[in-house]
Structure 1
Amino acid sequence: MKLNRLIACLCLAWIGAAYAHGGEDHGDAPAVAIAADKPQRLPDGRVFVPKEAQRRWQVLTVIGQPQTLSRSVTLNAHVVMDPNAGGRVQAALPGRVEPGPNGLPVLGSAVRKGQILAYIVPAVGSLERASQQAERADLQARLKLTEAQQARLESLNGTVARKEIEAAANEVQALRQRSTALAAGAAREPLLAPATGMIASADAVSGQMVEAKDVLFEIVDPARMMIEALVYDPGMTRGLQQASIVGTDMTLDFVGGAGALRDGALPVLFRPRRNTADRLALGQIIKVVANTEDKVQGMPVPATSIVRNASNETAVWVHDSAELFRSVAVQVSPLDGQRVMVSGVKPGARIVTSGAVLINQIR
């Protein structure tokens, strides 16, 4: 009885396998892929991804078409201020920081050109201070005596030579100027904003002792940042055109390059196009993809299409059929901040542009 039941179960299992796909013969390997309801890698290296999983992963493709475009180079760069739309506020002499009329500005504060940001009270020793006070007292005493002498000479006008009256007047004026200059030297010095913009960095607190040339504030115009990149081939600066920042849609216009090396490289400047520079921060480290005059042939695809295969080669996934994907090794060259140029794929192939990383992880 048990033997009969076992034979019946085996027969039913064989019949179910034979008619599971309407009697179609798909071959051994495809049958394994189609019978599964989850993504898996097939023995031939292709990947089976059901339609439901493709929708969840938002898998998108594009038809590869060969094109001839400008060759690009990737440059290390950082954000710098526009020298005509910003500046630094430094201490001109050692002293103590005091708040300005509106207090000390903080990060992000809007300032206008000529605004008093803070004061520097000169740092002097006790002996120097005593010497200045004694000199000022001496000047005040001499000034009073000279003014009195001038008044007496003017009262004797007509009996005293005119040159004596003029000499007394000149001496009074000189003493007054010396007294004013001495008082100004002991007074606090205002720190003025060199440009209109916002405070990008602030390193000043009330009562802080600073040295000459210490940078206390940096002022920038967020809408007028610039990008400084480094080029190690002097001939490349003549062929640079517009550029873009890697990972963004920001377009940069080439301004110019230096004619002298700095730390073994030539600095070149780019300016973001209008209404995009406010997304950058002063000193931010970025990568720039710059177009050159050289031309290159290939298929432009988004950078998200590029993955690494099992041999650690750069590759893309090609959509062979409705639920099958195949990995193809390619050569890659940068095109702009969001696209790359690939070669090694047949024209007209459907290249995965979104979801390639997820497909590449299927084992």
Structure 2
Amino acid sequence: MKRVTMAAQATLFALFALLAAGPALAHGDEDHGDAPAAVNSNGPQRQPDGTVFLPKSAQRLMGLRTLPVQQAALPKATELQGVVVMDPNAGGPVQATQAGRLVAPPQGFPALGQRVQRGQVLAYVEPVAGALERSAQAAQVAELQAAQALAEKRLARLQVLADTVPRREIEAAESELQSLRARGAALRQGLGGREALVAPVSGVVAASQALAGQVVDARDPVFEVVDPQRLRIEALAYDLGVAQDVGDAFLVNASGAPQALRFLGASTRLREQALPMQFGGVQGLALGQPVRVVLQTRSTVTGHAVPAQALMKNAANQTIVWVKQAPERFVPKVVLTQPLDGARVAVTQGLSDGDRVVVQGATLLNQVR
């Protein structure tokens, strides 16, 4: 009995081992293992060598456009960081020359962005002599005006009686009236001795610190007036030789074509180990706005001009462009670039004459996996 049991166990063990070693079959030898996923060989896909297969239909949907490039002598350029500043001849602060309290003109304080004319009164500064002193001066002016009115009436009466009144009394009345008038004029001048803050140039109000009744000290800025059509850009150049070899300059905009700038001059004194340079011809920007300036020199470099939007990054964070190698095949090429004019860059290494570079839709092409 014991031998039968052991024989049965051995048989079962061998059967289980055979089943485990063989393929899982059922329902007429059907294989239920994991089948490989179906691959659409006709759709956009990244090839093992890094190239991209892109059918014509997908190219039209992505709006792909290519441009053949040719090597040429291009201006050597550098990119500078700058900030928008005002033209000293077309803007400036409005400051008080004495301490006092701000008083609005009849039309009120100007609002931000409001256009003002040169010489227009923007505010008044009443001297901080004290309200009590000014009230006393106003009372004295009122008393003098009353005394002056009485003196005028007395003089008129004496002039009517000139035939019976001694001449010296008429002269004394005239002298008294003149004295009263002089004292009244002096008091009125002291009473109205507030300072008028006027616009230094015609432009718009760029900054305002004015509040009714606000007390300001001498030299405190109250307003800032600037002509928005006459702004400048101040950029810092860390290469001191750039200032001696300036060609064209362009403002790099976040959107749209680059804006041409006019080089005005460079300083001869370093600031933070850099040379300040100023450019004109700026419009549509705000004071203090940071900007990028591409400065071309008269020196040249050999390369291929490519739109900046054609530059992409690969997985290794290298700068690449996509080149059309075949009607439906695109190859990434690692390139070295230099700034050119804000809208284009100069590719100094990585391209050959006749390469068709993808200049539109490169972002979608770069995302194909």
The alignment's TM-score, normalised by the length of structure 2, stands at: 0.73
Q: Is contact 2:137-2:191 (8 Å) kept?
A: no
Aligned partner of 2:302 in structure 1 is 297
The amino acid that maps onto 2:258 is D
Which of 264, 273, 278 is the matching residue for 2:273?
Answer: 264
Q: Is contact 2:45-2:368 (8 Å) kept?
A: yes
Aligned partner of 2:363 in structure 1 is 357
Q: Is contact 2:87-2:231 (8 Å) kept?
A: yes
Find the residue that maps to 1:100 and give its secondary structure: coil
- CA distance in 2 between counterparts of 1:49 and 1:202 reads 58
Which of 118, 121, 128 is the matching residue for 1:123?
Answer: 128
Find the residue that maps to 1:223 and give its secondary structure: coil
Cα 1:5–1:312 shift into 2, 3 Å = closer
- CA distance in 1 between counterparts of 2:242 and 2:183 reads 64
- CA distance in 1 between counterparts of 2:191 and 2:204 reads 33
Determine if the alignment matches structure 1 residue 348 to structure 2 residue 354.
yes
Q: Give identity over the alignment, percent.
A: 43
The amino acid that maps onto 1:356 is A
Determine if the alignment matches structure 1 residue 95 to structure 2 residue 100.
yes
Q: Is contact 1:241-1:253 (8 Å) kept?
A: no
Determine if the alignment matches structure 1 residue 59 to structure 2 residue 64.
yes
Cα 1:173–1:233 shift into 2, 3 Å = farther
Find the residue that maps to 1:56 and give its secondary structure: helix
Deviations 1:236-293 (A, max 9, x none): 2121222111134210011111112233322111112xxxx33211111100001112
Please tell me the root mean square deviation across aligned C-alpha atoms, in Å: 3.7
How far the C-alpha of 1:174 sits from its partner, in A, is 9.4
- CA distance in 1 between counterparts of 2:316 and 2:30 reads 51
- CA distance in 1 between counterparts of 2:287 and 2:91 reads 11
Q: Is contact 2:119-2:201 (8 Å) kept?
A: yes
Cα 1:183–1:360 shift into 2, 3 Å = same
Pair member with larger Rg: 2
Q: Is contact 2:134-2:191 (8 Å) kept?
A: no
The amino acid that maps onto 1:233 is D
How far the C-alpha of 1:179 sits from its partner, in A, is 4.8
Which of 238, 241, 252 is the matching residue for 1:235?
Answer: 241
Deviations 1:18-39 (A, max 9, x none): xxxxxxxxxxxxxx7xx53432
Aligned partner of 2:86 in structure 1 is 81
How far the C-alpha of 1:176 sits from its partner, in A, is 8.0
How far the C-alpha of 1:5 sits from its partner, in A, is 11
- CA distance in 1 between counterparts of 2:273 and 2:183 reads 57
Q: Is contact 2:102-2:214 (8 Å) kept?
A: yes
Find the residue that maps to 1:269 and give its secondary structure: strand
How far the C-alpha of 1:329 sits from its partner, in A, is 0.6
- CA distance in 1 between counterparts of 2:216 and 2:233 reads 31
The alignment's TM-score, normalised by the length of structure 1, stands at: 0.74
How far the C-alpha of 1:97 sits from its partner, in A, is 2.1
Aligned partner of 1:40 in structure 2 is 45
The amino acid that maps onto 2:65 is L
* Consecutive unaligned residues in structure 1, runs of 5 or more: 7-31, 157-167
Deviations 1:296-328 (A, max 9, x none): 110011111111122221111101112211110
Aligned partner of 1:70 in structure 2 is 75
Q: Is contact 1:304-1:354 (8 Å) kept?
A: yes
Q: Is contact 1:319-1:349 (8 Å) kept?
A: yes
Q: Is contact 1:101-1:116 (8 Å) kept?
A: no
Deviations 1:120-143 (A, max 9, x none): 22234468768x859x88xx8xxx
The amino acid that maps onto 2:243 is T
Q: Is contact 2:79-2:292 (8 Å) kept?
A: yes
The amino acid that maps onto 1:85 is A
How far the C-alpha of 1:294 sits from its partner, in A, is 1.5
Deviations 1:143-166 (A, max 9, x none): x9xx9xxx9xxx77xxxxxxxxxx
Cα 1:46–1:111 shift into 2, 3 Å = same
Find the residue that maps to 1:318 and give its secondary structure: strand
Which residues of 2 match residues 199-348 of structure 1 at below 5 A? 199-247=205-253, 248-272=257-281, 277-343=282-348, 344-348=350-354
Q: Is contact 2:258-2:341 (8 Å) kept?
A: no
Cα 1:179–1:233 shift into 2, 3 Å = farther
Cα 1:37–1:103 shift into 2, 3 Å = farther
Find the residue that maps to 1:254 and give its secondary structure: strand
- CA distance in 2 between counterparts of 1:90 and 1:105 reads 15
How far the C-alpha of 1:183 sits from its partner, in A, is 3.6
The amino acid that maps onto 2:248 is Q
- CA distance in 2 between counterparts of 1:126 and 1:356 reads 72
- CA distance in 2 between counterparts of 1:73 and 1:103 reads 48
How far the C-alpha of 1:57 sits from its partner, in A, is 2.1
Cα 1:103–1:342 shift into 2, 3 Å = same
Q: Is contact 1:199-1:218 (8 Å) kept?
A: yes
The amino acid that maps onto 2:196 is P
- CA distance in 2 between counterparts of 1:228 and 1:234 reads 15
- CA distance in 2 between counterparts of 1:180 and 1:50 reads 90
Cα 1:177–1:73 shift into 2, 3 Å = farther
Count of equivalent residues: 315
- CA distance in 2 between counterparts of 1:48 and 1:106 reads 60
Deviations 1:56-95 (A, max 9, x none): 2221111011111211111111111111122221222232
